[in-house]
Structure 1
Amino acid sequence: MPIKTALITGTSRAAGLGFAVARDLAEHGYHVVLTARDRSAAEPLAERLRQDGHAATALRLDLSDRASIDEAADYLTQTFSHLDALINNASAMPDYQTLSALEADMDALRSALEVSVVGPWGLTEAMLPLLTAAPAARIVNVTSLSAQQIATGLDLGAPLRSPAYSMAKYLLNALTTVLARALKDTPILVNAVDPGNTATHPERGDDATDRPAAESARDIVRAATLGADGPTGELFSNGYPAA
């Protein structure tokens, strides 16, 4: 049986969620492909996994660059021939201090949409031949509770925190549903996972209540390893379908 393969976007930081997901999947026997806009950021992390006896590869992947996406797809086609799990983990939060949609920076919005919506959409299309070549591939879109500010309707007296980031994650959730519907006649399952507040930025002073990255990663890996009877088009939060 061919080794299972997984591609994880946004794996440039040792403390990041992407690396925690990569390690967990590697421990499940996957050959993990760690990607970042700068390959030199992902390579030391891949080397750490290799030193621990896991199969890992570092690859440059810039979600805002279509040529980069196509190059990654070509590399995987030539190297693995199939892809069992695509984890759209990369994220951009360029407006975390903005508290009003009327103060949104359009450059920040474009950046957030490129990384969280346009990029994952294009990457899924590019990887589709590899995903369909796997026996039962899984696509996991890593989302955020911030999207719920829009999905559930805003209290008129409440600020919309990080409007560009929140809108991008809201649209990523919608994309999850759209892709699940498009792939409903295939074995591929597509789900979104909100990992909750996660301690991935010690340099910024993570909150004491933030979950360890390894704990949050388990929810993502669970969605990436669902059985044939698993759900599709769902949003999961803390390991359970979101209300």
Structure 2
Amino acid sequence: MAIRTALVTGTSRPAGLGFAVARELAGQGYHVVLTARDHSTAEPLADRLRRDGHAATALRLDLSDPVSMHEAADHLTQAFGHLDVLVNNASAMPDFQVLSAMEADMDAVRTALEVTVIGPWALTQAMLPLLTAAPAARIVNVSSLSAQQIATGLDLGAALRAPAYSMAKYMLNALTTVLARDLAHTPILVNAVDPGNTATHPERGDDATDRPAAESARDIVRAATLDADGPTGQLFGNGRPVA
């Protein structure tokens, strides 16, 4: 029986959502590949999973560096020959304090788009041979409630909170739909998940109402382990489709 494999981007922080997703997938029997821009931040987390009895590997993967993406793909090709799950979790919020699109810094916009949209797009291309080699691969793009400011005009108390981040997540949702269409002739399912407000930044003072990372991770893993007749091209929040 082939080893089930899953790659999760943005797994550099013990309290982060990426690590919570990796842990949940590992608990379901996947060999998880934890990736981060700096290998030294992902390796201790992979080691923690191994010490808990799970199969885990850490790789350097920088979403602004195509070379690192192809190196990661080469490693997976040699080690496993396929990839069952790709979770595009890595993100950048370079304008957390900005409250208007008219105040947006274009360098911040470029950073957000590079990490949140262009990076996952390029990574999916790089991993496509591995994904198609799996019996029925799943791609999950981690979205955000912030995108709904643009999609539905949701009022979060400002003209447009974190405009670069919000626009990038909105575009990631659109990319999800496009990739699902392009891969409709394959068994690969592509969906996005809004994990909701999640307690991943204790150093910033998480709100008391934020969900634990492990709880949000389960929604992402549910999309990563859909049955063959599951949906594709959808955005989910709290386990339900979001318009």
Question: TM-score scaled to structure 2, two decimals?
Answer: 0.98
Q: 1:83: which partner in 2?
A: 83
Query: Could you tell me which amino acid in structure 2 is paired with residue 216 of structure 1?
Result: S
Q: Take 1:36 and 1:181, find their aligned partners in 2: how far apart are those partners? A: 29
| Partner residue in 1 for 2:15 | 15
Query: Residue 134 of structure 1 aligns with which residue?
Result: 134
Paired residue total: 242
Residue in 2 that maps onto 1:35: 35
**Map of 1:232 onto structure 2:** 232
Segments of structure 1 that go 5 or more residues without pairing to the other structure are: none
Relative distance call for 1:87 and 1:4 in structure 2 (3 A) is same
| Distance apart, 1:158 and its partner CA | 4.4
Percent sequence identity over matched residues?
Answer: 83
Cα distance in 1 between the residues matched to 2:129 and 2:202: 39
Does residue 218 in structure 1 map to residue 242 in structure 2?
A: no
Could you tell me which amino acid in structure 2 is paired with residue 225 of structure 1? T
1:215 and 1:153 map into 2 onto residues whose CA distance is 27
TM-score using structure 1 length: 0.98
Aligned pairs (5 A) from 1:1-243: 1-153=1-153, 158-243=158-243
Separation in structure 2 between the aligned mates of residue 49 and residue 69 of structure 1, nearest angstrom: 23
- For 2:154 and 2:51, how far apart are their aligned partners in 1? 48
* Aligned-pair CA distance for 1:153: 3.3
CA distance in 1: counterparts of 2:194 and 2:48, whole angstroms: 27
4+ residue segments displaced more than 4 Å: none
Q: Could you list the per-position Cα deviations for residues 60-119 of structure 1 after superposition, in whole angstroms to 9, with x for gaps in the alignment?
A: 000001111111111111111000000000010000100111110111111100111000
Output the amino acid matched with 2:33: V
> 5+ residue gaps in structure 2?
none
Shift of 1:154: 6.5
SS of the counterpart of 1:74? Answer: helix
Distance in 1, Cα, partners of 2:154 & 2:58: 41
Quick one: distance in 2 between partners of 1:59 and 1:241? Answer: 32
Given the superposition, is the C-alpha separation of residues 211 and 65 from structure 1 closer, same or farther in structure 2, using an over 3 Å criterion? same
